[in-house]
Structure formats: C-alpha cells, structure tokens
Amino acid sequence: MADDDRRTEFVLPYSSACPAAVDQSNCIQLAHGEGGRLMRQLLKERIAPTLQAAINEDAARISAMKGDWAVTTDSFVVSPLFFPGGNIGSLAVYGTVNDLSVAGADPIAITLSLIIEEGLSFQLLDEVLSSVARTANECGVRVVAGDTKVVPRGAVDKLFITTTGVGQYRPASHLQCQQIQSGDLLLISGPIGQHGMAVLAAREKLHMTPEPISDCGNLRIVCATLHNQLGEDLRAMRDATRGGVSAVLQEWSEASGTTMQLYENQLPVTAETRGMCELLGLDPLYVANEGTFVAAVAPSVFEKALEVMREFSISSRACAIGKVIDKISSPVVIERMLGTLHPIDDPAGAPLPRIC
Amino acid sequence: MKYVDDFRNPEQARKLVEQIRRRATQRWVLMDVCGGQTHSLMRYGIEAALADCVELIHGPGCPVCVTPSDAIDAAQYLALQPGVILASFGDMLRVPGSQQTLMNIRARGGEVRFVYSPIDAIELAKQNPNSHVVFFAVGFETTAPATALAILHAKKLGLENFSVLASHVRVLPAMEALLQDSECRIQAFLAAGHVCTVTGYQQYEQLIQRFQIPIVIAGFEPLDLLQAIWEAVGMLESELPSIVNCYARSVRPAGNQQAQATVDEVYEIADQAWRGFGVIPHGGLKIRQQYRHFDASKRFKFEQVMPLASSMGHDICMSAEVMSGRIKPPQCPYFGVQCTTEHPLGAPMVSSEGACAAYMLYHLRGTSIS
C-alpha cells in the first residue's frame, strides 16, 4: 500500500468550529431507557403523573381478592399509532379490559410495558399516555405497574405496548365455549369489520369518504350486565379481534364440536366498511374488531339478550347473525343469496397491515 | 351501495334461475373465462342452483395462474440480486415457481415488496435511488395499460432505477386455443367483462364466424352473470350464435381506445408461454424495442440458477386440466388433501382468482359437484 493511500485511511472529518447542538429535547433518546437520570426524569415527569401511578417499588400491591382471578396479556403493535376512533394507547386498555370482560371477569388493574423507538416525539408519547389514562379511567381499571425500554431506530416501529390485565371472575356461571350446543343462537353486538378497515384506510392513506372509524370501545358494562341477567343461558362471549368473527366461530366450533351457521343477509356491516371491503376484495367476516363481541345464547333467551345489549350505546345495534347446528363437513358455514350453504374458511395469511 | 345491491337482489336472482331452467331443453356447457366470474358463480351459489341445466367450466382467466414458472423463477433470481427490489402484486408472492415462492425468497433475505399498483413501484424507485426496482408485471389486457403507463411515467421522470419484468397475456388467443382443442366441450363463452372494457368486443366477431359459438360479455355480480347465462342459453337453444353485451354499463363495442393506444405505444403482440397451456401464438405482449431501457429482461443478464428439479409439486398440479375445463378442481386427487390454500401445490389454489381456491373457499364439501 502506498503511503498516500495509508494516509487517506486516517483522515478524520475536521472542523475548527464546535459541532452544532442537536436538539434532542423533544424526543426520546436511547438514554431514556438506560436507567439513569434521563430515565428517572421520563418516569417522574411524564409517565407517572399522566397515569397517576406511584413508582416507588418494584411491584404493585393489590388487595387480596375473593374467588378466582382472571389474568390476560396482550401486545399492541398497531401501525399507524393513531387512527380514526382511537390510538395504540386506548387500544391497549380496551383490548385488555375487553378480554377480561368477555371471559366473565370484572377488570381490576392492568400493567403497561412500553418499548419505544429512539426518536419518538414526546408529544406523541404524551398523547398516547393521556389516552391510556383516560381509557383506564373510563373502564374503571388502574395502571398498577409498568416498564419502559428504548431501542435503537428501526428495532421497533415507533412504539409497542404490552399489557397484562387482572380481574376477578364474576360469581355468575362459568362462561365456556365448550358449553355451546346445537340450537343455541349467535348474536353480535354491532357492525363488524370497522376497526380493521379504519386502520387499513389510515395506514394506506386511502382517503375514503366517509372515513371508516374504529369500533374501539369498552365492553365491560354490557358484558357484566348480560352475564348477570342471563346466567347459564349465556354460554360464551368473545371479542372478535384479529381474524374477525370468522376466527371466533372457528374456535367455538372446534371447542364445542358443532358447526356455526351464519346468514349473510343478517350480518351488520356499515356502508363504509362494506364499500372498502368491496373495493379491496375482503370479507368483513375476517376483518378485525376492537369493541364488538359475539355471544352464544340459549334460544329461549335470545330476545332478552338483545334487549339487554341494545340498552348500551356500544351494542345498540346488536342483532342475531346465526345459529349453532350439529357438526357437518365445515366448522363454519354461511347461507348466501340463493339459500345455499358455503363454508367460511380460516383465512390463509392475507397480506394485511398490523391491525392491533 | 346501490350499484352493488341492485345487482345482488335475491328475489331477482331466484327469478332468473327459474327463467334459465325453463329456457334450457338440455344441459349446456358454458365456460366463464375470467377467474373473478368463477369466484362470483361459486360465492353466490349460482353454479349449484343451475346444476341441472347448465354446466359451468372455469376458464384460464386468472393472471396469476397462467404466469409460467420460468417468469416466476426469473423474478426470484432478480429479487436475490444485490441492490434489486422486486415489487409485485400480493398474489404473486405465494405462487410457486419451479422450486419456491417469492415469499420463500423474501424469508431468505431477498428484497420482495408487494404493491397495489405499478405506480406504487415507481414511488418505491423514487424513494430508493440507490436500488433498482423491478416491477414484476402479470395480467391480462386489464393490467397491461397500467404497466404501460408506469413505463411512460418512468420515462418522463427520467427514472434510471426502474424496470418491468413483463409477463402480460392476451385472452382472445387463449379462447381460440381452447376451441381448437379436439376435446373441447365448450358450447358458449361468458367473456370477461373487464377485459372487454379495455379491448371492446369487435374482435370476437371472427371467433363466432369461425367456430359458430355464442359469446356473452358478462359482469361480475350475480345478476350480471345470471343475465349472461340466460342470453347464452337462449342463443344455444335457437342455434343463432352471436355476441351479446350483458355488461353495457362498463363495456363499449370499441372499448377504451386511450388504454389500447397506451398499450400499443409500449408493447407489441408476441407469442407467450402460458402455464398449463404451453406457448400460445400471439398470446402475450412484450415491451417494444424503444422502451428496452425499462425492460428488466433486457437490463439484466439471467443466469441459469434455478435447477428444474421440483420440490413445490407444480409438476403434479393438474392446473392445465383445471384451466382448460377438462376437470373440476375437486376431481383433482390432491385437492383439499395435499393441496390447500395454506399449502398450495399450484397457482390455481394460490390466487384469489384461481378456480381451485374458489372451490376451496365456497364449495361445501360433501355436497354435489356440478
């Protein structure tokens, strides 16, 4: 190697002036996750006050509960972070509360674990945290513990949230999808597919008019009321999140050894969702919901069940969508236009964006 | 949703089913050319409702299904080249080439992106000036205008890092090839409404003259299809073959001349290999010499990197028999057993327009196959 070449290898960028200060005051830096002063500041000045949480100890204390506990955990990686009808913060709280509620439990507390991409603006973080606080308040749960990690740019997409929810099972009957039997009726709490379409439209900037809005919402009260009023005539409830109504019914069929039969002309779908599904060739039965649940009830109580559901604004458009029949060749079938039965398959990994 | 609901009215549909039944004095064999029509016929139960008077066989009009594995291998080869981003429609990612799918290539680190339109691929090229974006273009006369526009747009922008790997096919030569087959059972065609929207239908006259076959241009909604079947049965019963346009809200006799001119500017008609059919004379389009700068098959040197030994099973896939209507998907010994939508052995099970996928999705096993 010639001397000249060697020299060029060691040339450093050089300037006599001090480098210009980089303004890092308005965004998350790696140091915010490294346990030092910046991290304490982040916790004390932003996270704890917004969530009205104490950060003194390593574990939260919850008063001992009578009866059985319900525990659930969930991760949220939705993109974009904000979408019509909600954001990753409200989604995380509703998602966790709803999982406990449909299982037959009263939610008590949740934990919140944040994985933040370096460079996320404080403004965005604050908005998400405020939304967590507001939603937790609305749902009557406390955020009792949490964790914050910061990872280098590109290691996550802006912000991922993991929650754990703790609840207490209601003394009313056990809800179990194994109890579903032939003859039971299938009810839905409202129009399907809104969340998935709202997120897809926001993510792909589809500029639909009117814009689809997520059904993100709190199912706690309606589920508890329905459960208390119907007792064991309420067989099972499930929020129809990823995989949509189809995924719930596939699981129920497998668990109960029956077939779920739907009527296409009874499925509630808003014009916005239908329009988008038509355009994109999607079936709303496979599209995610975040504040809509399916219930299986004994045939004798289905009118009462609908009455109860329709008293609450989140489920004011509840209706019957099908029935449970003896097992046939497909786990889920749908009666379409000309009265013929068609199978509803498990969707095979559609190239859709992250929706929850 | 008026324009959807009006064409899905169950009462009207039942009425038309009855009218077709009354009109048919024997069981006629109709081919629905387009995969979108196959899916509608299955989804709305029309095939089953008419089983006693009409046999519907499903034609080759699924662009993903007819793309030859050589073209897919070439796309995979490009995706593995350093500095290349391969963009294509979502369906193409899961179709097996001779050895694997583009999805496998992506899992192995190949740069494969799915886009909704060729214009998105141009955006990708603008955003990645240090990479070369190849758009893998497949499809019939319906998608060729968009690819042609993308090439013209790229030329206008002076984009150096964008090219198209084109595997465009033309539907009329394929219909002709089907009719020339000595075992052909097709008695009438339901022609593809969207293709005719672009090409018009004057070109079908010669097919009717030569083969004395009725052709009805059909849409995609249940009432469109039932109306078209009613017309086709009428012509068959009266032995007066001609062409009827049952999709007049979209199709004009001369088609979309602006789109045709755009395609003609960028492409020329060429012989084309179809999966399951072999080479069909005049069966495709190739990029003209003056646009070779945007032709990936000219920009890149392809080496033989994909041995032809198969692990994907496309050699046992009976797609040729399915796409020419010789068998129905459930008659294939692999259907629903080794070959499912999760683990497809061939393109007709992968594609959202494929006939096998339509049967898998909409046909309730254990009920009869018409």
Q: How many CB atoms lie within 10 A of CB B260?
A: 17
Do A336 and A205 form a contact (C-beta atoms < 8 A)? no
Determine whether A15 is exposed, middle or buried from the number of CB atoms within 10 Å of its CB (0-12, 13-18, 19+).
Answer: exposed
| One pLDDT digit (tens) per residue for chain A, 356 residues | 444 443 334 444 444 555 555 556 789 999 998 888 999 999 999 999 999 887 778 888 888 888 899 999 999 999 999 999 999 999 999 999 999 999 999 999 999 999 999 999 999 999 999 999 999 999 999 999 999 999 999 999 999 999 999 999 998 888 999 999 999 999 999 999 999 999 999 998 888 888 999 999 999 999 999 999 999 999 999 999 999 999 999 999 999 999 999 999 999 999 999 989 888 878 899 999 999 999 999 999 999 999 999 999 999 999 999 999 999 999 999 999 888 899 998 765 554 444 44
Å between B323 CA and nearest CA of chain A: 22
Closest CA to A252 of A317, A172, A321: A321
pLDDT for position B349: 86
pLDDT for position A1: 40
In DSSP terms, which residues pair with A159 in a beta bridge?
Answer: A116
Q: Which of B44, B226, B340, B369 to mutate to test the interface with A (most CBs of A within 10 A)?
A: B44
Structure-token pair, residue B85: 């981003």
pLDDT for position A303: 98
Judged by CB atoms closer than 8 Å, whether chains meet at A340 and B363 is answered as: no
Strands (E), chain B: 28-34, 54-61, 84-88, 112-114, 132-139, 162-169, 188-192, 215-218, 243-245, 267-274, 278-287
pLDDT for position A172: 81
Q: Tell me, yes or no, if B337 comes closer than 8 A to chain A by beta carbon.
A: no
- Complex confidence, ipTM: 0.75
Most trustworthy range by pLDDT among A84-98, B267-281, B290-304, B331-345 = A84-98
Residues of A in contact with B364 (CB under 8 A): 328-330, 333, 340-343
Report whether CATH 3.40.50.1820 matches the domain A30-40+47-55+68-169.
no
pLDDT in tens, B101-140: 898 999 999 999 988 889 999 999 999 999 999 999 999 9
Q: Tell me, yes or no, if B49 comes closer than 8 A to chain A by beta carbon.
A: yes
Closest CA to B222 of A160, A337, A328: A337
Residues of B in contact with A204 (CB under 8 A): 116
Q: Which of B364, B365, B367, B368 to mutate to test the interface with A (most CBs of A within 10 A)?
A: B364
pLDDT for position B233: 98
Q: How many CB atoms lie within 10 A of CB A36?
A: 10
Residue B137, SS3 per DSSP? strand
Pairing, β B112-114 against β B243-245: unpaired
pLDDT in tens, B203-223: 999 999 999 999 999 999 999
- In angstroms, the first-to-last Cα distance of chain B is 32
Report whether CATH 3.40.50.300 matches the domain A177-343.
no
pLDDT for position B11: 94
User: Where do the CATH 3.30.1330.10 domains begin and end in chain A?
Assistant: 30-40+47-55+68-169
For residue B222, cis peptide bond before it (omega within 30 degrees of 0)? no
pLDDT for position A55: 74
pLDDT for position A13: 44
Amino acid at site A256: S
Return d(Cα A267, Cα A277) in angstroms, integer. Answer: 14
pLDDT in tens, B36-50: 999 899 989 999 999
For residue A210, cis peptide bond before it (omega within 30 degrees of 0)? yes
CB within 8 Å of B304: residues ≥ 6 apart: none
HEC sequence for chain A: CCHHHHHHHCCCCCCCCCCCCCCCCCECCHHHHCCCHHHHHHHHHHHHHHHCCCCCCCCCCCCCCCCCEEEEEEEECCCCCEECCEEHHHHHHHHHHHHHHHCCEEEEEEEEEEEEECCCEHHHHHHHHHHHHHHHHHHCCEEEEEEEEEECCCCCCCEEEEEEEEEEECCCCCCCHHHCCCCCEEEECCCCCHHHHHHHHHHCCCCCCCCCCCCCCCCHHHHHHHHHHHHHHEEEEEECCCCHHHHHHHHHHHHHCEEEEEEHHHCCCCHHHHHHHHHHCCCHHHCCCCCCEEEEECHHHHHHHHHHHHCCHHHCCCEEEEEEEECCCCCEEEECCCCCEEECCCCCCCCCCCCC
Which range, of B98-102, B105-109, B228-232, averages the lowest pLDDT?
B98-102
Long-range contacts of A211-214 (CB under 8 A, 24+ apart): A211/A84, A211/A272, A212/A84, A212/A270, A212/A272, A212/A273, A212/A276, A213/A84, A213/A85, A213/A272, A214/A83, A214/A84, A214/A85, A214/A86, A214/A290, A214/A291
pLDDT in tens, B149-196: 999 999 999 999 999 999 999 999 999 999 998 889 999 999 999 999
How far is C-alpha A137 from the chain's CA centre?
Answer: 17
Q: Which of B43, B88, B350 to mutate to test the interface with A (most CBs of A within 10 A)?
A: B43
Please check the confidence at residue B274 and state whether its pLDDT lies above 80: yes
Judged by CB atoms closer than 8 Å, whether chains meet at A343 and B365 is answered as: yes
pLDDT for position A17: 55
Q: How many CB atoms lie within 10 A of CB B120?
A: 16
Å between B114 CA and nearest CA of chain A: 9
Å between A343 CA and nearest CA of chain B: 5
Q: Tell me, yes or no, if A337 comes closer than 8 A to chain B by beta carbon.
A: yes
Q: Tell me, yes or no, if B117 comes closer than 8 A to chain A by beta carbon.
A: no
How far is C-alpha B316 from the chain's CA centre?
Answer: 21
Judged by CB atoms closer than 8 Å, whether chains meet at A329 and B17 is answered as: no
Does an H or E element contain B179, and which? helix B171-180
In DSSP terms, which residues pair with A293 in a beta bridge?
Answer: A239
Of A204, A337, A343, the CB nearest to B44: A337
pLDDT for position B319: 84
- Which class does domain B65-169+257-299 fall in? alpha beta
In DSSP terms, which residues pair with A323 in a beta bridge?
Answer: A185, A261
Judged by CB atoms closer than 8 Å, whether chains meet at A329 and B364 is answered as: yes
Please check the confidence at residue B307 and state whether its pLDDT lies above 70: no
The structure's pTM equals: 0.82
Residues of A in contact with B365 (CB under 8 A): 329-330, 343
User: Where do the CATH 3.90.650.10 domains begin and end in chain A?
Assistant: 177-343
Please check the confidence at residue B304 and state whether its pLDDT lies above 80: no
pLDDT for position B306: 45
pLDDT for position A126: 96
CATH superfamily, region B2-62+172-245: HypD, alpha/beta domain 1 (3.40.50.11750)
* Torsion sign across C-alpha atoms B111, B112, B116, B118: positive
